[in-house]
A and B are shown apart, each in its own frame.
Chain A
C-alpha cells in the first residue's frame, strides 16, 4: 500500500454539547473541550461510562452537531459527516448477509471507488488484519475478535486520514483484547492514521496511546492530558516492563483520587 494518506491534525475549540432528555431536562454532556491532536498521533480517551467520551467521537465524525464550539480536521471545519474518517464501534456492525470481503468493500461501494482497485485493496487489508483466509466466510462463522478485525479492515477501506474507535475491544475477552491491542499498534505503525480511541481500560490506554485524554463525568470536561513515555514499537513484552507498570499504577492512583472516577479505574 503505497498511496497511504497521512494522518490529519484535529483541533477542538471550546466544544460543548447539551442534550434535552425525553422528560425535557437539559443535560450538559460535554463542557468546553479544547485540544489539538497532532497528525498521525494515537490518542486514547479515558473516562467513566456516561462521561460523553463517545459523544466526542461522534462530534468529530460530524454525526452529532456540537451545541457550541468548532472542530477542525486538517484545514476544514467539520459541519457534517465526511468521508476522510473511518469508524469502528464497540460491536463490529458487520452486515451478516455479506461475506467478509464484501463487508470490507462496502465503503468503496458507497463512495464509488473503481471496482478493480477496491478489490485489490480489500484483499490487502484482509491480509493486513490476518484474515485473508476468511475472505469468503460469513461474519457468523467468525469469532468476536475476528469480526472486530473485519470492522477495522473496513474502516481503512477508503483510506481515511483519521480513525475514530469507540471502545473497539470492550466486548472482547481479556486475552483477545490484549492480542487485538498488539495487532492494532502493528496496523497503525504501517498506516499512520490519526487515531482517537475511547476506552475505559487504563492498561489499554497506556499500552496504545501517545497521549491520554482524561475526561470527567457529567459534564464531560478534559481534566488532564497525560504523556505516555513508553518507547515504540511496543509489543506484548511492553506490558511486563517496569516503565509500563509504573505508568499504569500512577494513572490508576490519579483516578482513585478523583472519587467520581472510581468506576473507570476498575
Chain B
C-alpha cells in the first residue's frame, strides 16, 4: 500500500514539479535580476510592482471593465466569423457554382494581412465596439473557412455510397455524414481562430477606441506606466489561455471519437 502511494507521489512529482520549478525560477529572476544588474524599474518593473499594479487595477475595477469590453468584442467576432466560415465552407463544397464564383476571391483575400483592414474598418464603423467585432470576425473567419473546406471534402467514399444506396437526401447526407465527419477539421480551425480573435480586437482598439484592454495598454504606454502595462499583459495572457482552453474542452467533448492524430491536426 505504501509502495503504491509512493508510486503515485513520484508520478505527481515527475509530472508537476518541473513546470512548477520553472515558473518559480522565472518569477524569482523577474523579481531579483533587474535589481542585481541595476536595470531601471521603469523598464522592467520587478514582480512585486506588477502585482501591485494588477491589484490596483482589479480593485478599482478598471481592468474588469476593460476586460469585459475586449472579451465581448473578441468573442462576438469569433462566433460570427467562424460561424460564417463554417457556413460558407459548407455552401462552397456543396455547390460547384458557388465554388467557382467564390474560391478565387477567398484565396486571394486570405493572403491579405487582415489587421491592415483595421484603420479602414474603424473609419467605416466608428470608434465603438462594431469595428472591433468586425476585425475579430474577419481574422477568425479565414482559418475556420479553410479548415472547414478541408473537413467537408475529406471523406471516405464508401460513406457517401452507403448514403446514396439508402436514397438519402442531400440534407440528410450533410447532417448524418458530412458535418460530423468534418468536425475534427473544423475544430482545428476554431483552435487557431480563438487565439486570432483576441489579436483582432486588440488591434482594433489600438487603431481607435475609447474602451478596452487595448485602450488601457495605450494609455499606460503614454504615461510610461510599465508595471501597469505588464499587469494588462498578464490579464490578456489569462484571457487568451482561458478562451483556448474552453475551445479545447469543447473539442474533446464533441470530437471524442476522432483518432488522436486527427484531433491535433493543425492545432498550434
A interface residues with partner B (beta carbon < 8 Å):
58, 61-63, 81-83, 85, 87, 89, 91, 93, 95-97, 106-107, 109-111, 138, 140, 158
Contacts and interface: CB of A to CB of B under 8 A. Distances in A.
Contacts of B180: 95, 97
Interface of A is mostly: loop
17 contacts: A58-B161, A81-B165, A81-B167, A82-B167, A83-B166, A87-B161, A89-B158, A91-B156, A93-B158, A93-B159, A93-B162, A96-B258, A107-B166, A110-B167, A111-B167, A140-B259, A158-B166
Interface of B: 156, 158-159, 161-168, 172, 176-177, 180-181, 183, 255, 257-259
B172 A91 contact: no
Contacts of B156: 91, 93
Contacts of B255: 97
B168 A91 contact: no
Contacts of B159: 93, 95
A110 B176 contact: yes
Contacts, number: 52
Given A96-B258, A110-B172, 14 more contacts: A58-B161, A62-B165, A63-B164, A81-B164, A83-B166, A85-B165, A89-B162, A95-B177, A96-B257, A97-B257, A109-B176, A110-B163, A110-B168, A110-B176
A64 B116 CA distance: 51
A61 B163 CA distance: 12
Q: Please provide the 8 A-B residue pairs with the shortest distance between their CB atoms, ordered closest to farther.
A: A96-B257, A93-B158, A110-B166, A97-B257, A110-B168, A97-B180, A89-B158, A87-B165
A111 B166 contact: yes
Contacts of A109: 176
B166 A63 contact: no
Interface centre among A62, A82, A97, A138 (most CB of B within 10 A): A97
Contact of B257 (A58, A62, A138): A138
Contacts of B257: 96-97, 138, 140
Nearest to A90: B158
Contacts of A110: 163, 166-168, 172, 176
Chain A CB count within 10 A is highest, among B159, B162, B180, B258, for B162
Contacts of B176: 95, 106, 109-110
